[in-house]
Structure 1
Amino acid sequence: MSQINPKQQNQIKPNQNDNINNTTSETTFPQYLLISAKETGKKISSLSPIIIQKTIKGCIGTAKSVKPLRSGDLLVEVFRKQQADNLLKLSEFSRISVHVRAHQSLNFSKGVIRCPALQNDTDAEILQYFKSENIPISEVRRIKIKGQTVKTNTFVLTFAVPNLPSSVMVGYMRCNVSPYIPNPLRCRNCQRYGHHEDRCRRREVCEHCGREGHNDTDSCDITGKRCPNCKGNHAASSRDCLSWKKEREVLRVKYTRNISFPDARRVVESNDPAALSYASVTKSKTQQNTITVSDAKVQAYFDKPAFGAEVPPLMDDSFRYDVLADDSEFGDSNAAVTRQPTPSSPVSPKSVHHEPG
């Protein structure tokens, strides 16, 4: 009988992103956790990195990554469920009373599937199926055509895992999962991108004329429109805006190449041939093979990691399609679909998954 070389055996590892049907209670746990100080004015991120590392190591051992946020919180990524459980029980961090909770968005990922066979199934029935098969999907939303009630065979799935799988089994059918790319988030107060109006501290800026002091059409007393972002002859909400197109391209690069927002922005603003150039984005106003994708907002964080790996790694880059949302803020939107290499590994439901030690 032939024996497997130990070195070769170590190289034979399954792609965890392909095995969304192989999850258990030990593999579906919050991998990203926030540590916040209970006392007002205290910031955990302002502590010495040496103290932070020693405290975390004493509680859970070696963390996958640690990152201070501008809010003063500490974002910790863990390897195992036991680490998450221990960290959630933490009440004091270097003599500071703290509250630990799972991050609201980083522990989830959104993907798009196309399955004509589900045309007669409701969203609730599809979600119930996934739950019965122990597939970590928390939401199923069928995409509707803009301005109509016509249902499509395209669905947006919210996975309760941070890394988007390449495929998912629906009954006996394997459906490829493509990354859902949200639209740029524009503040309705200052009209800039990257934050919500609830968090904005800037002065109110008019969406139409670009001047400060008002934010409604009735108060505009000038002829024509002026975008406060690109200075073009249009409102800030227009999809003809060069700034909007640039922000959308940053999001596309970020989600398809699994890199941080600052890195994605540098790629778009550079001459990197691996990414679609900003100039080529602004040349065409429409995309071919469009489908409708409802808007999802995203908050851009521009914090640099203190130590450890870059976080958050949201998804793999080996997807068959990229879905680009094409509307600015609310309601339905058009999405451009570009074909990429097809994933090679099929997924079988309810097979045993072993977490690497």
Structure 2
Amino acid sequence: MTDPPNIYKITSKTYQSQLGEPKFIIIKRNDNNSFERTSPFIIKKSVDFACGGEVEGCKRTRDGNLLIKTKNELQARKLLKLTKIADEDVTASEHKTLNFSKGVIYCNDLRHIDEDTILQELKPQKVSEVKKIMKRQNPNSNSDTNNITLVETGLIIITFESHKLPEIVRIGYETVRVRDYIPLPLRCKKCLRFGHPTPICKSVETCINCSETKHTNDGEKCTNEKNCLNCRNNPELDHQHSPIDRKCPTFIKNQELTAIKTTQKVDHKTAQHIYFERHGFQTKNTYAKTLTNGTTQRTTNTPSPNIHTNTTQSQQQNPHHTPKSAAQNTSAKTPTTEPAKTTLLSNQPHQHHHHHSYDKLEDMDTDYTPTRKPSTTYSSQLTEDLKIKIFPKDKSNNLSINLKASKLKAKAHKNKHTNNSDSESI
């Protein structure tokens, strides 16, 4: 009699391997109706009770059925026994494609072994299907097309009973690397367009040469010029080729999209975004993207608080700035109204001034600072090194302009009182 296993030596990884891998389960109603009007709370309670705990995920498909991803194979076996949800008869079954993965191997030693024998030997490695990739070969190009033979290439498509593709597979004593199987783009054989299969196509049959409505019988060749219906609407692409040509730009684009979806495990919309970024195409701007770009642009365009910009702005707004003595001599000629003052300032030429040193506080122009500070919630910052008042970065341009205008107004008012006192003393 063998001893029982030591449960203390069983790690979490070993326990997960014993439970099995996750599975995808489809739940359908027996009356062919959807779960749109079924309460999501009842669905969760029914699924959790059947599985003995919460599952990895659950969502509703386009046709109204439930797609459930379990955490392990044990939950999947329990969920397959579910028969009722909210007094409705249901049927649970495994998904036909999501629980499987396809890969490609190359083994020259399997060229002359049939597919059934290979499948029988690889079943212990969870292989469910084996298909060889053949190549058409015509020994004589001048002979009839019926003499074309199929030649093995050594490439084999293997389907595994797992949603995760293994990295290697054992072929006898050899170790062969498994690569992702990238299928051809989905194209309708009736209308020759991409994105849907032939059985659900509602369009008319299209000629494989000129892309018009089929006008030839079986065995006859179209004599019109070649024209591709997938490329003729794009002026940047050449459309003078057959729509089934492997060198078609649209076919190459869809082939790359299929490769992105297969290798990166993403949906079609995400694959298109990756494709556009890879080839430098500009995607359509959304509201959030436009708002973000506008905020970033306003932040980068905000002027930096330095001495040069502040002095330049003050010179532009007060180009006739002169010392006190000159201002007192010409104060009688200066109008008192603000509109006339603005007109007079715009007509005067720009004057060059001597640059003052701002190393000490006494060297600053005291006339620029008003006697009364404007009432605002923003406070100016006085740096210890430069000894100059600067505006914070978060202050808007309108507030800055209004503050400077109030300073000029206070300066003019001060000059007016100074002139009146001088005239009274005389």
**TM-score normalised to the size of structure 2?**
0.52
For 1:241-296, what per-residue CA distance to the aligned partner results, in whole angstroms no more than 9, with x for missing partners?
2222111111111111222232212211x214xxxx499xxxxxxxxxxxxxxxxx
1:234 aligned to 214, 237, 241, which one? 241
1:257 paired with 2:247, answer no
> SS state of the match for residue 156, structure 2?
strand
For 1:322-356, what per-residue CA distance to the aligned partner results, in whole angstroms no more than 9, with x for missing partners?
xxxxxxxxxxxxxxxxxxxxxxxxxxxxxxxxxxx
Distance 1:46 1:230 in 2: 44
The structural deviation recorded for 1:80 is 1.5
1:271 aligned to 260, 277, 287, which one? 277
Match of 2:43 in 1: 52
2:82 aligned to 90, 111, 117, which one? 90
Work out the percentage of aligned pairs sharing the same amino acid: 31
The structural deviation recorded for 1:197 is 1.8
For 1:74-103, what per-residue CA distance to the aligned partner results, in whole angstroms no more than 9, with x for missing partners?
211111222111221112222332221111
Which amino acid letter does the alignment assign opposite residue 34 of structure 2?
A: K
> SS state of the match for residue 199, structure 1?
coil
Where is the strand percentage greater, Structure 1 or Structure 2? 1
Distance 2:62 2:188 in 1: 19
Are residues 176 and 186 of structure 1, via their aligned partners in 2, closer, same or farther at CA, if it must alter by over 3 Å?
A: same
Are residues 198 and 224 of structure 1, via their aligned partners in 2, closer, same or farther at CA, if it must alter by over 3 Å?
A: same
Match of 2:144 in 1: none
1:140 paired with 2:130, answer yes
Are residues 172 and 54 of structure 1, via their aligned partners in 2, closer, same or farther at CA, if it must alter by over 3 Å?
A: same
1:206 paired with 2:215, answer no
Distance 1:48 1:234 in 2: 54
> SS state of the match for residue 189, structure 1?
coil
Match of 2:347 in 1: none
Q: Is the 8 A contact 1:156 1:180 kept in 2?
A: yes
Are residues 193 and 37 of structure 1, via their aligned partners in 2, closer, same or farther at CA, if it must alter by over 3 Å?
A: farther
The structural deviation recorded for 1:105 is 1.2
Q: Is the 8 A contact 1:34 1:100 kept in 2?
A: yes
> SS state of the match for residue 181, structure 2?
strand
Are residues 199 and 254 of structure 1, via their aligned partners in 2, closer, same or farther at CA, if it must alter by over 3 Å?
A: same
Are residues 57 and 216 of structure 1, via their aligned partners in 2, closer, same or farther at CA, if it must alter by over 3 Å?
A: farther
Are residues 51 and 266 of structure 1, via their aligned partners in 2, closer, same or farther at CA, if it must alter by over 3 Å?
A: farther
Match of 1:282 in 2: none
Distance 2:39 2:229 in 1: 40
Distance 1:103 1:216 in 2: 41
Q: Which has the higher contact order (CA 8 A, sep 6+)?
A: 1
The structural deviation recorded for 1:165 is 0.7
1:109 paired with 2:115, answer no
Distance 2:131 2:64 in 1: 35
Bigger CA radius of gyration: 2
Match of 1:64 in 2: 56
Q: Cα RMSD over matched residues?
A: 3.1
Q: Is the 8 A contact 2:42 2:85 kept in 1?
A: no
Count residues with an aligned counterpart: 250
Which amino acid letter does the alignment assign opposite residue 177 of structure 1?
A: V
Q: Is the 8 A contact 1:63 1:78 kept in 2?
A: yes
The structural deviation recorded for 1:215 is 4.0
> SS state of the match for residue 55, structure 2?
coil
Match of 1:153 in 2: 154
Q: Is the 8 A contact 1:249 1:278 kept in 2?
A: no
Which amino acid letter does the alignment assign opposite residue 203 of structure 1?
A: S
Distance 1:69 1:197 in 2: 22
Q: Is the 8 A contact 2:20 2:74 kept in 1?
A: no
Match of 1:286 in 2: none
1:122 aligned to 114, 138, 163, which one? 114
Which amino acid letter does the alignment assign opposite residue 146 of structure 1?
A: R
Match of 1:337 in 2: none
Q: Unaligned 5+ residue runs, structure 1?
A: 1-9, 17-22, 280-357
> SS state of the match for residue 119, structure 2?
helix
Match of 1:75 in 2: 67
Which amino acid letter does the alignment assign opposite residue 203 of structure 2?
A: R
Distance 1:230 1:48 in 2: 47
Where is the helix percentage greater, Structure 1 or Structure 2? 2
Match of 2:253 in 1: 246
Are residues 144 and 205 of structure 1, via their aligned partners in 2, closer, same or farther at CA, if it must alter by over 3 Å?
A: closer
Which amino acid letter does the alignment assign opposite residue 34 of structure 1?
A: I
Q: Is the 8 A contact 1:34 1:73 kept in 2?
A: yes
Q: Is the 8 A contact 1:189 1:215 kept in 2?
A: no
For 1:157-199, what per-residue CA distance to the aligned partner results, in whole angstroms no more than 9, with x for missing partners?
1111111111111222111000110001112234332221212
Are residues 176 and 220 of structure 1, via their aligned partners in 2, closer, same or farther at CA, if it must alter by over 3 Å?
A: closer
Distance 2:204 2:76 in 1: 41
For 1:33-58, what per-residue CA distance to the aligned partner results, in whole angstroms no more than 9, with x for missing partners?
11112214x11256454443333223
> SS state of the match for residue 249, structure 1?
helix
Which amino acid letter does the alignment assign opposite residue 79 of structure 1?
A: K
The structural deviation recorded for 1:234 is 3.0
